[in-house]
Amino acid sequence: MNDTHPRRRNPRPGRARKRAIREQAARTGVPYSVAARVIAELGLQPGESIASHGRTIYPCDPIRQRVVDERGRRSFAERLADTRRAAVLPEGRAQHLVGRFPPGRGRVGQLYHGEGRPELLTMLYLAVAVEFPALVPEPADAAWVAEMGEETAVDMVCALLDRQARSMLECDTSELRPRLAQALTAAAAGPDPHMRLVATQLTATPPRPEPLDPPDGEPARPALPLVLSLPFDGVRQILDALLVVSDDGHAPGTRVRVLAGPHTSRTATIVGAVWGALGPPIAYRIQLDGATGTLGMAAGELAVPPGQESLPS
């Protein structure tokens, strides 16, 4: 047997490296020589890929994996009911996304979590509708697409809306809270009866106490629902995972290895993405194993280990 199969007994040196180069070239669409140079310069290990390429959708712990598997087994009628809800703006889409990307735990603790995520997502979509009405799809168009029963089809219709909502979360919360409150006030007084109803329902939540007498020259701030002080990180992660579905990239929870800087070779977890105007993330926020803070790293400075295949969204 051994004489018949000498290659099994004496494997050719460098085969794993050449296979990794071919895989890297295929993933990134570059010539073999370019992929070989990249792997040599960055010290990529077999099976790893640079985080500026590829896609990892919503990495799951065992609990969230069961939820994803259950969603994958839904009947067409159940999928249709969900896509119809996802096409109802602003609150239906918010509820759909919270169910689609449930909270869980990773090496860095809780991900996609926080009380009040549907309310905050609703507020973000409402604010986009007030500030950028041209980005909101026509209700009839969204409803028509929803009849396909495919959530990714609804994602395409809502792509500009979703991206702008995620962009708003790049603001500091001290700036974002007044902006959301102003959107609530505008929607409550606006001409759209559905938006007025949604704004009224949101403000029915007991507001956080405000000073009785605002500083001289400053108007009293509009009330925001109490829950809106909580889930900004979780909502960022939900929208990051959503945008990865269509624009590629690696969702929060993806394990990575640092390729540059003082933390080279250390392992970490992606906790957020940094998006440009178009396309996949240009950078990521990561948390090193054993650390508490986060770091910003360019996508090309991170390697994604093998075995984190894209999951159905």
Decide if pLDDT at 6 tops 50.
no
Q: Give the tokens for residue 4.
A: 């018949």
pLDDT at residue 13, as a whole number? 47
Kindly give, in sequence order, each residue whose CB lies less than 8 Å from that of residue 258, ignoring residues fewer than 6 positions away: 264, 265, 266, 267, 268, 286, 288, 297, 301, 302, 303
pLDDT at 64 over 70: yes
- When comparing pLDDT for 211 and 282, which is higher? 282
Which range, 2-11, 92-101, 105-114, 225-234, is most confident? 92-101
Give the integer Cα–Cα distance in Å for 277 and 223. 32
Q: Which residue has the higher pLDDT, 108 or 3?
A: 108
Which residues 6+ apart lie within 8 Å of 280 measured at CB? Answer: 52, 244, 247, 248, 249, 299
Higher-scoring residue by pLDDT: 300, 194: 194
pLDDT of residue 32: 80
Strands 302-304 and 49-50, by their bridges, are: antiparallel
Block residue for tokens 């790293």: 297
Identify whether 90 is preceded by a cis peptide bond (ω within 30 of 0).
yes
Pair 136, 89: CB distance under 8 Å: yes
Residues 308/255, Cβ–Cβ less than 8 Å: yes
Asked whether residue 50 carries a pLDDT value surpassing 70, the answer given is yes
Question: How many CB atoms are located within 10 Å of the residue 156 CB?
Answer: 12
Q: Give 192's contacts (C-beta < 8 A, 6+ positions apart).
A: none
d(CA 228, CA 203): 11
CA-based diameter of the chain, in Å? 92
Token pair of 291, please? 């650390």
Backbone angles phi, psi at 120, to 5 degrees: -70, -40
Top-confidence range, 21-35, 56-70, 135-149: 135-149
User: Alpha-carbon distance 253 to 274, whole Å?
Assistant: 15
Asked whether 90 and 126 are in contact (CB, 8 A), the reply is yes
* Interval 214-240 mean pLDDT: 68
The pLDDT tens digits of the residues spanning 88-134 come to: 999 999 999 999 999 987 788 889 999 899 999 999 999 999 999 99
So what's the pLDDT on residue 206? 52
SS3 222: coil
pLDDT at 19: 66
Mean pLDDT of the chain: 83
Region 138-151: mean pLDDT is: 96
115 CB contacts (<8 Å, ≥6 apart)? 227, 230, 231
- Going by C-beta distance under 8 Å and a sequence separation of 6 or more, which residues neighbour residue 156? 145, 246
Residue 228 has pLDDT above 50, yes or no: no
| Two tokens, residue 245 | 């579905």
- The pTM assigned to this predicted structure is 0.82
84 pLDDT above the threshold of 70: yes
Contact 94, 225 (CB under 8 A): no
Distance of CA 91 to the CA centre of its chain: 18
Output 227 or 240, whichever has higher pLDDT.
240
**Is 28 in contact with 50 (CB distance < 8 Å)?**
yes
Instruction: Spell out the residues 6+ positions from residue 140 whose beta carbon is closer than 8 angstroms to its own.
Output: none
Flag whether pLDDT at 274 surpasses 80: yes
pLDDT interval class at 86 (50, 70, 90)? very high
Tell me the C-alpha distance between 296 and 271, whole Å.
10
